[in-house]
Structures are given as structure tokens and as C-alpha cells.
Amino acid sequence: MLLWIVVMCLLVLTSLVQHLGFFTFPFLMDPWDKIILDILLLIIILGILYRMVTKKKTGEKEKLRDKIKELVAEIKMLKGEEEEKNVL
């Protein structure tokens, strides 16, 4: 999924550079409205990419929190067994 966003971003950037006139091809010259469309697409793609990266980090944090809870419960259980042995 992330690869498609990167590919789309590269395509939009190359299209924007071409529309701005850095690479001029007489048969591909377009009006300014396509430049504005390229800029809007780039902003949308960057927004999607940012959301994907933050959601991925959020998922990792939730998994780590669950693992910590499991480990804490296991430590409490082990400490309880040690205390029972000390009492006997």
C-alpha cells in the first residue's frame, strides 16, 4: 500500500515539473488548471501518506501496551508464587 502512494507521488511530481516548463515538450503543454490539479493531488497524496504512517505507529504502540500488560500480569503471578514458597 505504501509503495502505491510513493509511486503516485513521484508521478505527480514529474507531471508538475513538466507542467511548470522545466521539461518542455511542445505536444504536452497544458494550461494552468492542470498545474493546480497537480498541486492538489500532491497535497492529497502527502496527507494520505502522513495518515498511513501515523496509523502504523499507533498500531505498534497498542501492541506494545498489550504486551506490557501481559508481562506485568506474569510478573505478578511469579511474585505471588515466590511469596507462597517463602511462607511455607
pLDDT tens digits, 51-80: 888 877 667 778 888 899 999 999 988 888
Over residues 14-24, the pLDDT tens digits come to 777 777 777 66
- Binned at pLDDT 50, 70 and 90, residue 30 comes out as low
Q: State the chain's mean pLDDT as an integer.
A: 76
Complete DSSP assignment for 35-77: HHHHHHHHHHHHHHHHHHHHHHHHHHHHHHHHHHHHHHHHHHH
- Greater model confidence, 40 or 2: 40
Tell me the C-alpha distance between 65 and 3, whole Å.
28
